Amino acid sequence: MTKLVARIKVLPSDIDIDLNVIVDRLNNSIADDVKIKNFTKEPIAFGLNALIVDFSLEDKEGPEMDELENAIKNTEGVSEIEIMNLSRQALG
């Protein structure tokens, strides 16, 4: 069985939003079988930071990636997202 790892850049809707709060909200809004593996903060400009989040999800047919994108976009405090990378991770 393999898993997908989706690296997604998440831009906050406001410079004053605590990015840790967005991570907590993402954890609550994504499906139960999707997990946040890692996240980092990346400076953009003028004090604005983005989140670079690695999501782990099942590699199966269906709309799972679309559902993940919609869940992130509909999370309070999120302005935009950009899928940076999508790769498979073999489980041993």
Question: Could you read off the pLDDT of 1-37 as tens digits, one per residue?
Answer: 678 999 999 999 998 999 999 999 999 999 888 999 9
Q: Give the count of domains, the chain.
A: 1
What are the φ/ψ torsions at residue 61 (nearest 5 degrees)?
-70, 150
C-beta of residue 1 within 8 angstroms of C-beta of residue 31? no
Look at the block and give the residue holding tokens 């690296």.
7
Token pair in block for residue 9: 């850049």
Global pTM reads 0.90
Which residue range(s) make up the domain with 20? 2-90
Residue 13: which CATH number? 3.30.70.60
Q: Enumerate residues 6+ apart whose C-beta is below 8 A from 66.
A: none
